[in-house]
Amino acid sequence: SGETASWVRLREKMRIGSWRLMVGICGGSASCEELEKAVVNPKILKVLLGSVRDPNVSILPLACTCLDRIRRTRSFMHSEDLVSPLVKALRYPHTSPEVQVSIAGALCNALLLSTKAKLQALEPNKSHSPSVIVSERKIPANPGIIGNPGTRRSLTVSNGTSKRAREDKKGRGEEIAGRKRMRGGSSCVDILRDLALDSRTEELATTATWGLKNLVFMASREVRMAVARATGLGFLKSLLMSQDISRKIQCLLLIRSLVYYDHMTDLFPAKQSQIEELLVIVIRTAAHPKGTPKLTENALYALSSLISDKCCLKACLSQSRPIANLIIAALQSNPDIPSLNPGIPLPTVSRKHDSPNPVLVRLEASNAAIFRGSPGCRRLEVVSGTIPGIPSRNPVIKDGNPGIKSKQAAIWFILS
């Protein structure tokens, strides 16, 4: 039957082993619209995706129809349940690029808002072996047993079997609940990274880069460090030097999400020269004459996040004039750049100058403007800073212009 009520009843009674019944119903009288209404539930979609063993069966296109609906509505109630089957579906070698784009798009939305989904994306995904869920419970201490009674773990395997394991722990047994991270296999981060570098289909590569950005967005430090280790600076430079503008924009958003709470030197230690190279690529991307306003805007956003690091600040100060020329060219070619977020404290780059007509590049909350030797553009003095000449993240600015407020959310470049 193709009626929605039948689908609801089936959803309540469905088990992992009864997926053949679902395949038979999908191939029967149920239309795609009725299927979308019924299978929009992530639990039933997890069964659909987890049951696929061959990408050539008819169940995968039908499941991808549901994925498209979920991507449009973003109705993820339990999106962490979809990460593992979506990653497995992405790993099928003979899946068409259109189906992969649908699966990757749903995976991107699943990784955006769920903290559990972000953590699960770091776990290696073994397609050849069942996933193991570890549930640990507290075992009371037995005074009659010499030594530590330990903590007993119940290992439940996805095929229905279970076995006991015992692990000695220091002290009394503690009640711990969590998921055991299995070693081996490719994680969601690894798969998205490989797809982002695949230039055969630009749409799939852009979607994969979008998924990495969603994974890092508002994530914990553990997730950010793991993504930084899995991708690397060479990966970011490769994306920025690609020909696809959409992929460049997603890469710039990924860079901004990575360094929003951390410095580049914290994420990529002992790689100062590569960080400076990445900074120059971002600036040249912002000043590219053929760049779109959206690309220039996101490049300036990424630049504002990058120069909060001392390493990037030193690179700006050591190459002041070429970088200034690039930024000025970017602002002159795109005078209608949307405003930066006034709630984000942006750093200030200052430099001592001896020229009587300095160049002040100003990106304030309302618009982007350039003032060349204007009487109101006086020298800014950086009061707070960790090292001389380089301000901290929230510098206090003092100058004689009454129109400039202290701690204003703006980027200031004073260059001779």
pLDDT > 70: what percent of the chain? 39
Determine the pLDDT at residue 282: 85
216-235 pLDDT, tens digit each: 888 888 888 888 888 888 89
- Region 41-57: mean pLDDT is 59
Residue 54 has pLDDT above 50, yes or no: yes
Task: For residue 134, list its beta bridge partners.
Answer: 155
Note the pTM of the prediction, 2 decimals.
0.58
The answer, yes or no, to whether residue 79 has pLDDT greater than 60, is yes
Res 252: pLDDT = 92
pLDDT-derived band at 139, boundaries 50, 70, 90: very low
Q: How far apart are CA 26 and CA 43, in angstroms?
A: 17
Average pLDDT, stretch 377-387? Answer: 30
Average pLDDT of the chain to the nearest whole number: 59
- Residue 375: pLDDT band (50, 70, 90) is very low
In whole angstroms, give the CA distance from residue 111 to residue 208.
Answer: 12
pLDDT at 364: 35
The predicted structure's pLDDT at residue 88 = 78
* Domain range summary for the chain, segments of one domain joined by +: 4-120, 132-167, 232-415
Among candidates 38, 106, 55, 37, which has minimal Cα distance to 76?
Answer: 106
pLDDT 10s digits, 85-138: 778 777 777 777 777 887 788 788 778 767 788 888 888 765 433 333 333 333
319's CB contacts (< 8 A; 6+ apart) are 280
Is residue 410 over pLDDT 80?
no
pLDDT tens digits along 173-186 = 322 222 233 334 57
Q: Are 25 and 10 in contact (CB under 8 A)?
A: yes
Contacts of 211 (CB under 8 A, 6+ apart): 104, 107, 108, 111, 192
**CA-angle at 198, arms to 194 and 204, nearest 5°:** 95
| pLDDT score, position 114 | 75
Residue 336 pLDDT exceeds 80: no
Give me the percent of the chain exceeding a pLDDT of 90. Answer: 3
pLDDT digits (tens, 9 = 90+) for 267-296: 888 777 888 888 888 877 877 767 777 887
Return the pLDDT at 311.
Answer: 64
With 70 as the cut, is the pLDDT of residue 206 above it?
Answer: yes
Torsion angle in degrees (nearest 10) through CA of 281, 282, 284, 287: 170
Q: How much is the pLDDT for 52?
A: 57
What's the pLDDT at 167?
35
In this structure, are strands 411-415 and 359-363 parallel, antiparallel, or unpaired? Answer: antiparallel
Average pLDDT over residues 302-308: 72
Q: Are 67 and 103 spatial neighbours (Cβ–Cβ below 8 Å)?
A: yes
| DSSP classification of residue 17 | G
